[in-house]
């Protein structure tokens, strides 16, 4: 239970930061629909649940720093890709995957928890600018950026150790400088 390129054990109850993060999502992490995301691949060997946790954790760090609505940012981030099919081989819903999966995620999120206006914006707009829904909230802008950053980190760390070591050093240094 660690976010990509992070050493923080998210279920370590002795860790204050991990505790704070997990307090926002503990109910969601027990829900079968959320846990089911672990059955689907998102980027290479990164499951959809791991990707969602990655986005939620980095969104948490930045939302705290920027004094945004941390809880809604984290919960929206965890649920932003809550669609339950292999998008590369299946398309149970008609339409372009880029456009329809945020709608699917939003519908499923409503089965899991109460979805606030901020969470709705986070989920609906996370594909911006590829998708056609522009974020309306600061949290929406943050998560669409964290989604892309995490995708790059997930693919990068699995593609090559050299890529991890060299290409990600500036990103990591920037992140550490900002969130510390
Ligand atoms: Fe997505
Ligand atoms: Fe995503």
Give the distance (Å) from ligand 1 centre to CA of residue 62: 19
Q: Which ligand is nearest to the CA of 133?
A: 1
Residue-wise over 101-129: b if at least 16 C-beta within 10 A, else e?
Answer: bbbbbbebbeebbebeebbbbbbbbbbbe
**What string of pLDDT tens digits covers the 180 residues of the chain?**
899 989 899 988 899 999 999 999 999 999 999 999 999 988 888 999 999 999 999 999 999 999 999 999 999 999 999 999 998 888 888 889 999 999 999 999 999 999 999 999 999 999 999 988 999 999 999 999 999 999 999 988 887 655 555 556 566 655 555 543
The pTM (predicted TM-score) of the whole model is 0.89
CATH T-level fold of 16-179 = Hypothetical protein af1432 (1.10.3210)
Identify the nearest ligand to the CA of 50 by its number: 2
Q: How far is the CA of 14 from the centre of ligand 1 (A)?
A: 32
Cα 110 to ligand 1 centre (Å): 17
Ligand nearest to the CA of 154: 2
Every domain of the chain and the residues it spans: 16-179
Task: Tell me the CA distances in angstroms from 149 to 12, 156, 175, one per residue in order.
Answer: 25, 10, 11
**Ligand closest in space to the Cα of 150:** 2
């Amino acid at each position: 239970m660690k976010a990509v390129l992070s050493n923080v054990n998210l279920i370590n109850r002795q860790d204050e930061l991990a505790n704070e993060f997990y307090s926002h999502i503990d109910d969601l992490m027990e829900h079968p629909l959320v846990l089911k995301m672990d059955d689907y691949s998102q980027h290479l060997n990164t499951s959809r649940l791991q990707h969602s946790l990655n986005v939620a954790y980095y969104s948490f760090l930045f939302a705290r720093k920027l004094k945004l609505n941390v809880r809604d940012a984290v919960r929206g981030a965890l649920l932003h890709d809550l669609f339950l099919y292999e998008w590369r081989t299946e398309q149970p819903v008609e339409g372009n995957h880029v456009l329809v999966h945020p709608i699917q995620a939003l519908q499923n999120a409503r089965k899991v928890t109460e979805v606030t206006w901020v969470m709705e914006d986070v989920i609906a707009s996370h594909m911006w600018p590829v998708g056609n829904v522009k974020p309306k909230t600061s949290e929406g802008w943050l998560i669409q950026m964290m989604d892309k950053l995490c995708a790059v980190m997930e693919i990068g760390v699995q593609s090559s150790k050299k890529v991890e070591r060299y290409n990600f050093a500036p990103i990591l240094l920037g992140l550490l400088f900002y969130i510390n």
